């Protein structure tokens, strides 16, 4: 028998606010680890996007609860435990940032399917899409360094075909 879980909109909005705050702080710290202007610009831009996402969640929270958030200091039940903190190593921070973006995108996609309220559904779908775009940006901008135990990447298919025909 399939279990159907329900989610309280207020609790999910609190999780969203806290997660976006944490991811903003993550990117701010990661940006401080580099002297490269392009990398810093990308990470700072992602931090600004996270703040916009947090503000969107706050606005909808205010609409749904009728309360204003004066400060956000939520206990552990309002945190995504799968989000990891930023390390002091830039390469590790970039690798973990990709995991965090994937986690947030997955969380928001799942949550969006749980609500029938159009405003909530739209918010969480948009957040899922934005975090997926952030993941795509990170993957396109920062190629993973090859670890010693990994196999070398295969030759691109087009190059394989070209070599076979020669």
pLDDT of 120-147, one tens digit each?
Answer: 999 999 999 999 999 999 999 987 643 4
Chain CA centroid to CA 9, Å: 20
What average pLDDT does the chain have?
83
Residue 83's nearest CA partner among 66, 96, 68, 70 is: 96
Computed from CA positions of residues 8, 14, 17, 19, in that sequence, does the dihedral angle turn out positive or negative?
Answer: negative
Q: How confident is the model at residue 159 (pLDDT cuts 50, 70, 90)?
A: very low
Q: Which helix (H) or strand (E) holds 24?
A: helix 9-32
Residue 26 has pLDDT above 50, yes or no: yes
Residue bearing tokens 């010693």: 148
Maximum distance among all Cα pairs of the chain, rounded to whole angstroms: 70
Chain CA centroid to CA 107, Å: 9
Percent of the chain predicted with pLDDT > 90: 61
Helix (H, G, I), strand (E, B) or coil at 131: helix
Q: Please name each of the domains of the chain with its CATH number.
A: 9-164 (1.20.1260.10)
């Amino acid at each position: 028998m399939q279990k159907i879980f329900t989610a309280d909109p207020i609790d999910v909005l609190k999780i969203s606010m806290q997660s976006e705050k944490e991811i903003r702080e993550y990117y701010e710290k990661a940006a401080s680890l580099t002297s490269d202007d392009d990398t810093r610009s990308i990470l700072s831009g992602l931090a600004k996007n996270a703040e916009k996402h947090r503000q969107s969640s706050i606005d909808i929270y205010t609409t749904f609860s009728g309360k204003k958030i004066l400060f956000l200091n939520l206990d552990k039940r309002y945190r995504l435990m799968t989000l990891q903190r930023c390390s002091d190593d830039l390469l590790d921070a970039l690798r973990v940032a990709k995991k965090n973006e994937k986690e947030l995108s997955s969380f928001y996609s799942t949550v969006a399917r749980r609500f029938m309220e159009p405003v909530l559904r739209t918010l969480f779908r948009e957040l899922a899409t934005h975090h997926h775009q952030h993941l795509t940006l990170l993957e396109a901008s920062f190629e993973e360094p090859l670890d010693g135990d990994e196999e070398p990447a295969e030759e691109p298919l087009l190059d394989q075909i070209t070599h076979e025909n020669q």
